[in-house]
């Protein structure tokens, strides 16, 4: 007989249903370990999204304080985004192979440490390097978070867990600019990074107490070639798009980066089609639901998130 998840059928965790019931009621319908696990996993993603929006609002102040020009401060965003997109898919494969809990906690530690370095950065160069480390930590914990939730919850309960997770992300996006403006004006832009330190420490403690280790028994080897190709393709694509305004959309450097991205992506598709256990199961794109949700997320990330980052500049 299939074991039921601690989340009951009558306890939806997201959207209007969540707002209509109190947290205490929802908590009563969850086992204590799974309550903590859901809070930890959702809190990790909340912190990542909040940090991104807080930093975006603080960019003009950071530029003035560090005496940096627009190109230097633009790298505060680019230095974070490039390692994040390049390592995100590979992090998921590593979590399946070496342990989702391990990768989540490692990513949390790296992100928290990088936040300290960002907050104490004496110049734009150190800040950009620390932001790159932050992006790496974010990719690790974000991928592992989704894997932990997917492993713990099943069926309708999984949908409710992800609804709660998505609700917190939406809240982070909504309040991020307000929180960033308040912290920057009341304290300093540095506290926009340093505030992650106590939050990260609490989430690490919560993760240690609530998340059991899990991995994919079938992930006996890693698709190193696929990881390298996909990461390099995304890195080249995002790098080309980020620098296109400065170098020109028809400039040689831009066209070379975009061509490299297209070539690497094509080789990646061919490699994944012949792999026994590919990093990306390309047959998923035959599923209309998966395809539609992927395009929806792409639309959100390429419009709302981009505007929130660059409008303050």
Taking only the tens place, the pLDDT of each residue in 18-27 is 444 434 444 4
Please name each of the domains of the chain with its CATH number: 31-220 (1.20.1250.20)
Predicted confidence at residue 36, as pLDDT, reads: 83
Phi, then psi, of 84 in degrees rounded to 5: -65, -50
Q: Can you say whether the dihedral through the CA atoms of 27, 210, 106, 101 is positive or negative? A: negative
Predicted confidence at residue 9, as pLDDT, reads: 39
Predicted confidence at residue 205, as pLDDT, reads: 92
**What is the spatial distance between Cα 281 and Cα 240, in angstroms, rounded to a whole number?**
26
Predicted confidence at residue 116, as pLDDT, reads: 95
**What is the spatial distance between Cα 275 and Cα 281, in angstroms, rounded to a whole number?**
10
pLDDT < 70 positions in the chain: 1-33, 70-72, 218-220, 300-313
Predicted confidence at residue 179, as pLDDT, reads: 85
**What is the spatial distance between Cα 39 and Cα 168, in angstroms, rounded to a whole number?**
10
Predicted confidence at residue 92, as pLDDT, reads: 80
Predicted confidence at residue 155, as pLDDT, reads: 76
Predicted confidence at residue 16, as pLDDT, reads: 42
Contact 82, 132 (CB under 8 A): yes
């Amino acid at each position: 007989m299939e074991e039921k998840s601690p989340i009951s059928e009558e306890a939806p965790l997201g959207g209007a249903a969540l707002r209509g019931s109190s947290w205490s009621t929802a908590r009563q319908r969850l086992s204590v370990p799974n309550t903590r696990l859901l809070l930890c996993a959702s809190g990790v993603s909340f912190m990542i999204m909040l940090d991104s929006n807080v930093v975006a609002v603080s960019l003009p102040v950071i530029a003035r304080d560090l005496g940096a020009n627009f190109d230097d401060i633009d790298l505060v965003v680019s230095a974070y985004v490039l390692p994040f997109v390049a390592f995100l898919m590979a992090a998921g494969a590593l979590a399946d192979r070496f342990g989702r809990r391990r990768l989540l906690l490692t990513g949390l530690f790296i992100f928290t440490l990088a936040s300290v370095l960002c907050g104490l950065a004496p110049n734009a160069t150190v800040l950009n390097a620390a932001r790159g480390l932050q992006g790496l930590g974010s990719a690790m914990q974000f991928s592992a978070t989704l894997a932990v939730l997917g492993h713990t919850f099943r069926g309708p309960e999984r949908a409710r867990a992800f609804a709660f997770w998505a609700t917190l992300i939406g809240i982070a996006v909504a309040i991020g600019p307000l929180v960033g403006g308040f912290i920057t004006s009341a304290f300093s832009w540095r506290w926009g990074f340093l505030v992650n330190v106590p939050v990260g420490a609490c989430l690490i403690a919560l993760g240690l107490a609530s998340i059991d280790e899990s991995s994919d028994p079938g992930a006996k080897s890693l698709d190193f070639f696929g990881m390298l190709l996909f990461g390099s393709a995304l890195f080249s694509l995002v790098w080309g798009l980020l620098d296109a305004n400065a170098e020109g959309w028809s400039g040689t450097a831009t066209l070379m980066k975009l061509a490299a991205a297209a070539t690497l992506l094509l080789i990646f598709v061919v490699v994944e089609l012949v792999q026994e256990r590919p990093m990306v199961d390309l047959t998923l794109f035959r599923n209309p639901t998966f395809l539609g949700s992927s395009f929806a997320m792409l639309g959100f990330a390429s419009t709302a998130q981009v505007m929130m980052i660059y409008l303050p500049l």
